[in-house]
Amino acid sequence: MSWAIWITGRPGSGKSTLATEVTDALTRRGVRARILDHATARRLLVGERSMGDAEQDFLYRVLAYAAKLLTDVGVAVIVDATASRRVWRDAARALIPHFAEIQLVCASEVALERERADRWRRVAQRERDAQRSGSMPDIVLDYEESLHAELHLRTDLHDVGRAVEQVLVVVHRLQSASSTPVYHVERSKP
């Protein structure tokens, strides 16, 4: 059994950058970890088309279940996904015994600047595609911050190296907990 962390936060808060840097740091330490990211899962499952609420719910639950299956076979998992609804992250917490949520917080201006070039290029392309197909791009208007995050990181105040160090402390705690043997004591019946 292994562990999983879910890196969550608004678009532009640095989820993908942090997930990649943490995974690289773990690899250097000999820890096998995999990133499950929302963008790749979405492209594979639904392509670039708009998703309704039910499809979004399904996709996030698939990510949670995939993380559970990987941890069950000893692979450490980092989920890189906004997951604007708490219930999706809480579903992963309920499925995975050794789980932590990392909540990224970032000033709106900084997040916007980080996202501007890539995001607006993709939105413009999706709008052109939507005009041809009649569908509109997905837009997240609200985000539910974690009530149970093991770590809150201000990514607009700390550099990536410092953030990686803080996440590795959480990872160390998860590794320690997941390697603790569980003993079952059978009681004799009278």
pLDDT tens digits along 14-63: 999 999 999 999 999 999 899 999 989 998 888 888 888 899 899 999 99
- pTM of the predicted structure, to 2 decimals: 0.80
The sign of the dihedral angle between the CA atoms of 23, 34, 154, 176 is: negative
All structural domains of the chain: 4-179 (3.40.50.300)
pLDDT, mean of residues 95-103: 97
pLDDT, mean of residues 3-18: 93
pLDDT band with cut points at 50, 70 and 90 for residue 113? confident
CB atoms within 10 A of CB 170: 18
Instruction: Name the residue with higher pLDDT: 186 or 4.
Output: 4
Give whole-number Cα distances, 9 to 24, 62, 97, 108, 126, in Å: 20, 19, 22, 11, 23
pLDDT band with cut points at 50, 70 and 90 for residue 120? low
Q: What pLDDT digit, counting tens, does each position of 132-183 carry?
A: 544 444 445 588 889 889 999 998 888 999 999 999 999 999 999 887 554 4
**Residue 182: predicted pLDDT:** 43
**Residue 137: predicted pLDDT:** 40
